[in-house]
Amino acid sequence: MTDRYIFWTPARVYAAYRVVLAVILVVVFYLAPSSVMTDTGQPALFIFTAVIYLIITLISAALMSPLRRRFPNWSSLLPIVADIVLLTLLIHASGGTKSTLSVLLMVTVASASILLPGRGGLLVAALASMTVMFEQFWFSIQLNRGNPWHLTESAMLGFAFFVTAIIIHLIAQRLALSEALAETRHKAIEQLEELNWQIIQRMRTGIIVFDRSQRIVRANKAAEALMVSGSGTLINSLLPPALISMLRQWHSNPMQHRPAVQLIPGGATVLVRFAMLENEVQPLTLAFLEDQRKLAQEAQQLKLASLGRMSATIAHEIRNPLSAISHATGLLAEAQLEDGDRRLLDIVSANVARMNGIINDVLNLSRRQSSAAERIVLSEFIGRICKQWHQRGKSDQQIRASIPANLNIRFDPGQLEQIIDNLIGNAFRHGGEDACVELSAGVQKDSGLPWLKVSDDGPGIPEGVRPNLFEPFFTTSHQGTGLGLFVCRELCESNQAQLDLVDTVIGASFMITFAHPDRVFQ
């Protein structure tokens, strides 16, 4: 509709009107000449003028665009002047101002008030009045009337021309002001819409808009991150089956609580809320997607924030007397002690070291830095980690790796090394020093996301422990703090990855599902 409105400008409409009018005059003359001719008319002059008018209108319509570019100030005035002259000839040939064709000059004057700037409409009205008065004067001479200066009819017609020109000029001014105001408001609305969409694009909540046929028409970046594997777009795609099922449940019972769903294999679990969007063209529906992991993480961070500050304060307070105890045990170790006293001293030193390790874990948890992800070739990275463990005394049979050579991931190198070292250390700590650890990797077929699996052949993890495995300060070991796996999962989530315990027949197996390597973290 907008393109059609732009094409049919007033100049184009007037050009089409001239062509149609010329064709009608020629056709009517041959089909019903009495409707345009009076007894005093001149048929030969009428048809000659009508044909000339048709030819001129066709030529001017064909050359309208070139003439407008070459003569922008005269391109609208010349056709109007030609119309006045030729229409006056037609009026004269049809019998004078008493002919019904006189009203056609009114259309020309009104069109001039719209097409010509400033006082151009009044100029055309004056020109039309003069031609009509001249036509009546000349017509009176041809009919040998006694008083050729009796110009009452042409004077009244000229007065009507001026009134029409003034009224149409005022209306055109009002329309121009209204159009300018509408254009200004349209641009302001477009800017506001663009601003709103930019805000929506930067929201952490995923937002999609879809129509009655479940086809997505708008989606922000957060929604694409939750619903698209790798790089891609949701626009013009259909809703996934899980969302369609939830939409039907929402239509049947909007107040019903709906559980979180997984929209892509290996992706995050998402909480979905729907809302109707009023639209005059067609009803649209909004879907708000919330990453359940992020919500749980935020809730947990709120709970741990105060705990972290309190733990850090307590850790600092404990470290001072602990340093004094450690210094005192060091001085006692230099003295001559009996075997029983030395064993007691070793127990004190071991527990001091353990307390110091717990304090370091708590302090590191409270001041953990943000991730700086970069592209990593996983085979080279795992090779360096295996080499470090070999240098610690682990054999090639105890640490094995099978990583594809061309597999890339995006992760913070220091944090990934911390995670893998912790998982390997847990395998040897719980599976024994003779345990075997295998590192394997690949790409998920459905989602295209890379993964890394750390497996061991130890006793495995009891079923009762698995639900609380990643909770902070939960441990089954008397020597642990319960922060290792919690910190590992936190580091994974800060790199848009996911750490999970996977089912295995023998031992324990942890899998890291990485984000797509081509996705840029924000």
pLDDT in tens, 122-174: 888 888 888 888 877 776 666 555 555 556 777 788 888 888 888 888 888 88
Question: Tell me, what DSSP letter sits at residue 273?
Answer: E
Single out the residue in 335, 350, 366 at which a domain terminates: 366
List C-alpha distances in Å: 34 to 3, 31, 139.
42, 9, 20
17 shares a domain with 145: yes
* Strands 399-402 and 437-443, sheet pairing: parallel
Indicate if 69 and 147 belong to the same structural domain.
yes
Q: What is the CATH number for 267?
A: 3.30.450.20
- 3-state SS string for 163-187: HHHHHHHHHHHHHHHHHHHHHHHHH
Q: How many CB atoms lie within 10 A of CB 273?
A: 14
| C-alpha pair distances (Å), 5 with each of 75, 418, 492 | 21, 65, 56
Q: How far apart are CA 267 and CA 260, in angstroms?
A: 12
Determine the structural domain holding residue 355 and report its residue range: 295-366
Which whole number is the average pLDDT over 271-296?
80
**Last residue within a domain, chosen from 290, 312, 345:** 290
What local confidence, expressed as pLDDT, does residue 290 receive? 83
Two tokens, residue 463: 């079923």
Q: What is the pLDDT of residue 1?
A: 43
| 495 and 348 housed in the same domain | no
In angstroms, rounded to a whole number, what is the distance separating the alpha carbons of residues 328 and 330?
5
| pLDDT tens, position by position, 241-270 | 888 888 888 888 888 777 878 777 766 788
Q: Which two tokens stand for residue 206?
A: 């995923």
Residues 234 and 301 in one domain: no
The answer to whether the beta carbons of residues 507 and 499 sit under 8 Å apart is no
Mean pLDDT of 201-213: 85
Are 257 and 299 members of one domain?
Answer: no
In this prediction the pTM is 0.44
Q: Which tokens is 28 given?
A: 């009517």
Q: Helix, strand, or coil here: 70?
A: helix
Report the pLDDT value the prediction gives residue 340, as an integer from 0 to 100.
Answer: 76
Q: Which residues contact 458 (CB under 8 A, 6 or more apart)?
A: 427, 430, 431, 432, 435, 507, 508
How far lies 144's CA from each of 90, 140, 345, 506, in Å?
21, 6, 146, 125
| Cβ atoms of 84 and 128 closer than 8 Å | yes
Determine which of 143-157, 160-174, 401-415, 441-455 has the lowest per-residue pLDDT on average: 143-157
pLDDT the model gives residue 518: 77
What's the pLDDT at 522? 46
Nearest residue to 470 (alpha-carbon basis) of 493, 445, 454, 436: 493
Asked if residue 106 lies in contact with residue 146, where contact means CB atoms within 8 angstroms, the answer is no
The rounded percent of the chain whose pLDDT value lies above 70 is 82
CB 239 within 8 A of CB 227: no
Domain assignment present for 80:
yes
* 404, 441: one domain: yes
Any idea which of 138-147, 254-263, 341-350, 465-474 has the lowest mean pLDDT? Answer: 138-147
- In a domain? residue 194: no
d(CA 309, CA 366): 7
Cα–Cα separations (whole angstroms), residue 174 to 76, 112, 114? 21, 16, 11
pLDDT class for 362, splitting at 50, 70, 90?
low
Residue 522 lies in a domain: no
With 80 as the cut, is the pLDDT of residue 309 above it?
no
β pairing state of 269-277 and 284-291: antiparallel
**% of the chain at pLDDT higher than 90:** 6
Q: Which range among 186-190, 230-234, 405-409, 510-514 shows the weakest confidence by mean pLDDT?
A: 230-234
CA pair distance 502, 287, nearest whole angstrom:
31
Alpha-carbon span 351 to 54, nearest angstrom: 110
Return the structure tokens found at 224: 């694409």
The pLDDT of 409-425, averaged and rounded, is 89
Q: What is the CATH number of the domain that holds 352?
A: 1.10.287
| 518 lies in some domain | no
**286 shares a domain with 299:** no
The string of DSSP letters for 383-449 reads HHHHHHHHHTT--TTTEEEE--TT-EEEE-HHHHHHHHHHHHHHHHHHH-TT--EEEEEEE-TTT--
pLDDT tens sequence across 49-90: 888 988 988 888 888 777 777 766 667 788 888 888 888 888
Same domain, 433 and 470: yes
pLDDT score for 2:
46
Domain count, the chain: 4
CB 239 within 8 A of CB 210: yes
